[in-house]
Amino acid sequence: MKLLYVGRFSKPKNNLALLKIVNEFILLGMEFTLDFFGDAETVDLNGMIIKNEFLKTADLYSPRINYHGFQPSSIIFEKEYDFLLLPSFWEGFPVVMLEAARSGIIPVCSDIQTGPREFILNINSYETKLIYPIIGAGGILMKCPINSNDYQDWADVIKSVFLDKIQLQNLKNEVLKQSKKYSFEEYKSQWENYLDKFI
Protein backbone atom coordinates (compact mmCIF):
# COMPACT_ATOMS: atom_id res chain seq x y z
CA MET A 1 0.00 0.00 0.00
CA LYS A 2 1.39 3.39 -1.02
CA LEU A 3 0.43 6.42 1.08
CA LEU A 4 1.10 10.08 0.34
CA TYR A 5 1.17 13.30 2.34
CA VAL A 6 1.77 16.74 0.82
CA GLY A 7 1.91 19.87 2.96
CA ARG A 8 4.02 22.01 5.23
CA PHE A 9 4.81 21.25 8.85
CA SER A 10 2.45 23.28 11.03
CA LYS A 11 0.02 22.84 13.90
CA PRO A 12 -3.13 23.12 11.72
CA LYS A 13 -1.88 20.30 9.47
CA ASN A 14 -1.83 17.79 12.37
CA ASN A 15 1.32 16.23 10.92
CA LEU A 16 2.14 14.13 13.96
CA ALA A 17 -1.15 12.24 13.61
CA LEU A 18 0.39 10.60 10.54
CA LEU A 19 2.91 8.85 12.78
CA LYS A 20 0.12 7.53 15.02
CA ILE A 21 -1.84 6.24 12.01
CA VAL A 22 1.31 4.63 10.61
CA ASN A 23 1.85 2.88 13.93
CA GLU A 24 -1.67 1.42 13.67
CA PHE A 25 -0.81 0.01 10.22
CA ILE A 26 2.20 -1.70 11.75
CA LEU A 27 0.03 -3.18 14.51
CA LEU A 28 -2.37 -4.43 11.80
CA GLY A 29 0.52 -6.12 9.99
CA MET A 30 0.09 -3.99 6.87
CA GLU A 31 2.86 -3.57 4.31
CA PHE A 32 3.02 0.11 3.34
CA THR A 33 5.13 3.15 2.58
CA LEU A 34 4.34 6.78 3.36
CA ASP A 35 6.00 9.45 1.22
CA PHE A 36 5.97 12.87 2.89
CA PHE A 37 6.45 15.95 0.70
CA GLY A 38 6.66 19.37 2.30
CA ASP A 39 8.74 21.58 4.55
CA ALA A 40 8.71 24.20 7.31
CA GLU A 41 11.39 26.71 6.36
CA THR A 42 8.90 29.50 5.64
CA VAL A 43 6.62 28.98 8.66
CA ASP A 44 6.78 29.67 12.38
CA LEU A 45 8.78 28.11 15.19
CA ASN A 46 5.96 25.62 15.89
CA GLY A 47 6.40 24.29 12.36
CA MET A 48 10.10 23.71 12.91
CA ILE A 49 9.47 21.99 16.26
CA ILE A 50 6.88 19.70 14.62
CA LYS A 51 9.27 19.00 11.74
CA ASN A 52 12.08 17.99 14.11
CA GLU A 53 9.78 15.74 16.15
CA PHE A 54 8.31 14.20 13.00
CA LEU A 55 11.70 13.45 11.41
CA LYS A 56 13.12 12.04 14.65
CA THR A 57 10.21 9.61 14.97
CA ALA A 58 10.06 8.88 11.22
CA ASP A 59 13.66 7.62 11.42
CA LEU A 60 12.40 4.84 13.70
CA TYR A 61 9.95 3.76 10.97
CA SER A 62 12.49 3.79 8.14
CA PRO A 63 12.16 2.64 5.36
CA ARG A 64 8.37 2.77 5.71
CA ILE A 65 8.32 6.59 5.99
CA ASN A 66 10.26 8.60 3.42
CA TYR A 67 10.71 12.35 3.81
CA HIS A 68 11.33 14.18 0.53
CA GLY A 69 11.11 17.86 1.49
CA PHE A 70 9.73 20.28 -1.06
CA GLN A 71 9.17 18.93 -4.58
CA PRO A 72 7.18 20.29 -7.54
CA SER A 73 3.71 18.79 -8.05
CA SER A 74 4.80 17.38 -11.39
CA ILE A 75 7.29 15.12 -9.60
CA ILE A 76 5.01 14.18 -6.69
CA PHE A 77 2.02 13.11 -8.73
CA GLU A 78 3.88 11.25 -11.45
CA LYS A 79 4.23 8.34 -9.02
CA GLU A 80 1.41 5.91 -8.25
CA TYR A 81 -0.16 6.12 -4.80
CA ASP A 82 -3.25 4.54 -3.29
CA PHE A 83 -4.23 7.15 -0.69
CA LEU A 84 -3.51 10.79 0.17
CA LEU A 85 -3.78 11.35 3.93
CA LEU A 86 -4.95 14.79 5.13
CA PRO A 87 -5.51 14.68 8.92
CA SER A 88 -5.70 18.50 9.23
CA PHE A 89 -7.39 20.37 12.07
CA TRP A 90 -8.20 23.20 9.66
CA GLU A 91 -7.00 24.85 6.46
CA GLY A 92 -8.26 26.60 3.33
CA PHE A 93 -9.69 24.57 0.47
CA PRO A 94 -7.07 21.78 0.16
CA VAL A 95 -5.96 22.02 -3.47
CA VAL A 96 -3.66 19.03 -2.96
CA MET A 97 -6.82 16.94 -2.56
CA LEU A 98 -7.80 17.83 -6.13
CA GLU A 99 -4.30 17.27 -7.46
CA ALA A 100 -4.23 13.81 -5.92
CA ALA A 101 -7.70 12.92 -7.20
CA ARG A 102 -6.68 14.00 -10.71
CA SER A 103 -4.05 11.26 -10.52
CA GLY A 104 -6.53 8.65 -9.25
CA ILE A 105 -5.22 8.86 -5.67
CA ILE A 106 -7.96 8.51 -3.05
CA PRO A 107 -8.07 11.44 -0.59
CA VAL A 108 -8.67 10.45 3.04
CA CYS A 109 -9.49 13.70 4.82
CA SER A 110 -10.53 15.10 8.17
CA ASP A 111 -14.00 16.59 8.12
CA ILE A 112 -12.86 20.19 8.58
CA GLN A 113 -14.78 23.38 7.87
CA THR A 114 -13.57 24.04 4.32
CA GLY A 115 -13.21 21.75 1.35
CA PRO A 116 -13.36 18.02 1.97
CA ARG A 117 -17.15 17.74 2.41
CA GLU A 118 -17.69 19.65 -0.80
CA PHE A 119 -15.33 17.51 -2.86
CA ILE A 120 -15.85 14.10 -1.26
CA LEU A 121 -19.60 14.26 -0.64
CA ASN A 122 -20.93 17.23 -2.64
CA ILE A 123 -22.18 18.73 0.65
CA ASN A 124 -21.62 22.46 1.16
CA SER A 125 -23.24 22.73 4.60
CA TYR A 126 -21.12 22.21 7.69
CA GLU A 127 -23.96 22.41 10.23
CA THR A 128 -25.02 18.78 9.86
CA LYS A 129 -23.16 16.24 12.02
CA LEU A 130 -22.02 13.18 10.12
CA ILE A 131 -21.26 9.61 11.16
CA TYR A 132 -17.81 8.49 10.02
CA PRO A 133 -16.35 7.00 7.97
CA ILE A 134 -18.13 8.18 4.84
CA ILE A 135 -16.97 6.94 1.47
CA GLY A 136 -18.09 9.35 -1.25
CA ALA A 137 -17.40 10.01 -4.90
CA GLY A 138 -14.37 12.13 -4.00
CA GLY A 139 -12.71 9.90 -1.40
CA ILE A 140 -13.10 9.11 2.29
CA LEU A 141 -14.21 11.55 4.98
CA MET A 142 -13.10 10.83 8.55
CA LYS A 143 -13.28 12.40 11.99
CA CYS A 144 -10.21 14.54 12.61
CA PRO A 145 -7.72 12.20 14.33
CA ILE A 146 -6.92 13.38 17.85
CA ASN A 147 -6.83 10.20 19.97
CA SER A 148 -5.98 6.51 19.80
CA ASN A 149 -9.50 5.48 18.73
CA ASP A 150 -9.36 7.94 15.83
CA TYR A 151 -5.94 6.73 14.67
CA GLN A 152 -7.18 3.15 14.76
CA ASP A 153 -10.34 4.08 12.83
CA TRP A 154 -8.28 5.74 10.08
CA ALA A 155 -6.06 2.68 9.77
CA ASP A 156 -8.98 0.21 9.84
CA VAL A 157 -10.94 2.05 7.15
CA ILE A 158 -7.96 2.48 4.84
CA LYS A 159 -6.98 -1.16 5.31
CA SER A 160 -10.53 -2.32 4.53
CA VAL A 161 -10.73 -0.30 1.30
CA PHE A 162 -7.23 -1.31 0.23
CA LEU A 163 -7.84 -5.04 0.71
CA ASP A 164 -11.09 -4.93 -1.27
CA LYS A 165 -9.47 -4.58 -4.69
CA ILE A 166 -12.77 -4.04 -6.52
CA GLN A 167 -13.81 -1.25 -4.13
CA LEU A 168 -10.29 0.23 -4.30
CA GLN A 169 -10.31 0.43 -8.09
CA ASN A 170 -13.89 1.69 -8.23
CA LEU A 171 -13.09 4.45 -5.76
CA LYS A 172 -9.95 5.44 -7.69
CA ASN A 173 -12.10 5.74 -10.82
CA GLU A 174 -14.73 7.78 -8.94
CA VAL A 175 -12.26 10.29 -7.51
CA LEU A 176 -10.73 10.74 -10.95
CA LYS A 177 -14.18 11.43 -12.38
CA GLN A 178 -15.05 13.77 -9.48
CA SER A 179 -11.87 15.79 -10.05
CA LYS A 180 -12.96 16.61 -13.60
CA LYS A 181 -15.82 18.69 -12.18
CA TYR A 182 -13.14 21.09 -10.90
CA SER A 183 -11.22 21.32 -14.17
CA PHE A 184 -10.66 24.56 -16.08
CA GLU A 185 -12.70 23.16 -18.95
CA GLU A 186 -15.68 22.48 -16.68
CA TYR A 187 -15.59 25.97 -15.17
CA LYS A 188 -15.26 27.50 -18.62
CA SER A 189 -18.26 25.53 -19.83
CA GLN A 190 -20.35 26.57 -16.82
CA TRP A 191 -19.49 30.26 -17.34
CA GLU A 192 -20.30 30.06 -21.03
CA ASN A 193 -23.67 28.45 -20.27
CA TYR A 194 -24.36 31.10 -17.66
CA LEU A 195 -23.46 34.00 -19.99
CA ASP A 196 -25.51 32.51 -22.82
CA LYS A 197 -28.62 33.19 -20.74
CA PHE A 198 -28.04 36.92 -21.11
CA ILE A 199 -27.52 36.90 -24.88
11-35: pLDDT as tens digits: 999 999 999 999 999 999 999 999 9
What residues have CB less than 8 Å from 76, skipping those under 6 apart? 4, 6, 37, 99
Q: Read off the pLDDT of each residue in 165-188 and give the average, rounded to a whole number.
A: 84
pLDDT of residue 192: 54
pTM (whole model) above 0.85:
yes
Domain boundaries, the chain: 2-196
Pick the CATH number of 2-196 from 3.40.50.740, 3.40.50.150, 3.90.320.10, 3.40.50.2000: 3.40.50.2000
Residue that wins the pLDDT comparison between 129 and 3 = 3
Over residues 44-53, mean pLDDT? 87
Please report which helix (H) or strand (E) contains residue 97, including its range: helix 95-102
Relative to beta strand 65-69, strand 83-86 is: unpaired
Section 148-173 average pLDDT: 97
